[in-house]
Structure 1
């Protein structure tokens, strides 16, 4: 499970780099599907991942508010801030956790009974689903999307470079 989440994070970080080369107006423009905008979709990925992991760790559900993280730098910082906790949850995961009963409420309000193992795999695939949405939007805007096949040859080489001081994004 650890490897799958790390691969997701590498792709997410690559999308953050991709966003640094796209005008802010495009990142914030309303789009069909996903969660409305590129930035809202990236925020949703981060927020849902941390919320699910809190549930797996037996903590109260918590959601951040997009209004507090409505630009790329803030979403990147939130992702970085949440990641150590998520890593701890994944490291502590064992075979017995996979079989543990897990109950949640669906978007329609009905209660869903499953296992933690099924739910954590859902969380991992949730990010992949939304990254596919970002790829569609990238193509619609005339940009090349993040190349996912790089994970096949260098799964952990897609690191997000440190931002150079004084470097500004295209606006």
Structure 2
């Protein structure tokens, strides 16, 4: 079930990137209220968070990218492709262990948390859904229909 929800998010994300090609560059990067402040940086943000969590669970180095270096949809698309491939490998290799594996993290205030991998994967999924809602609001503010994101009408 988790894999299907990741596929749903990736499908919606790809459609948002295609949608963004229909608006001007100025609208793509315009500072807005909420999210990461723009269509471009919000799309980058959900991808970046996905790779951050997956690489931590996998014990791999986290890729550190400065959001300010992301200037185009092509930058985001390349990052998305690499991140999706990495996430799919992780999901395939660890499918049997989601319930058993945990990750120890240190919070910003120094507390330590032990998080089950399954809960982290659920967080990654819902985090992206949250930001899809923000993109939809911004699209409506522009007077343009957002990407249709109804799970019930999609083939995964």
RMSD across aligned positions (CA): 1.6
Match of 1:67 in 2: 68
C-alpha change, 1:34 and 1:16, in structure 2 (3 Å) is: same
Q: Which runs of 5+ in 1 are unaligned?
A: 157-171
Q: Within 1, Cα distance between the matches of 2:107 and 2:31?
A: 25
Q: What residue in structure 2 maps to residue 14 of structure 1?
A: 15
Cα deviation for residue 81 of structure 1 reads 2.1
Decide whether the 8 Å contact of 2:41 with 2:70 is kept in 1.
Answer: no
For 2:155, the equivalent position in structure 1 comes to 155
Q: What residue ranges of structure 2 are gaps of 5+ in the alignment?
A: none
Q: How does 1:22-171 map to 2 (within 5 A)?
A: 22-149=23-150, 151-156=151-156
The 3-state SS of whatever aligns with 2:105 is strand
Alignment check: 8 A CA contact 2:51 2:62 kept: no
Q: Which residue of 2 aligns with 1:3?
A: 4
Give the conservation status (yes or no) of the 8 Å contact 1:48–1:63: no
Tell me the secondary structure at the aligned position of residue 112 of structure 1.
strand
Q: In structure 1, what is the Cα distance between the partners aligned to 2:125 and 2:30?
A: 26
TM-score of the aligned structures, taking structure 2 as reference length: 0.91
Q: Give TM-score scaled by structure 1 length.
A: 0.83
Q: In structure 2, how many angstroms separate the alpha carbons of the residues matched to 1:132 and 1:27?
A: 16
Structure 2 equivalent of residue 159 of structure 1 = none
Q: Structure 2: how far apart are the matches of 1:153 and 1:112?
A: 37
Q: Which has the higher helix share?
A: 2
TM-aligned CA deviation for residue 109 of structure 1 = 4.8
Following superposition, the deviation at residue 108 of structure 1 comes to: 4.9
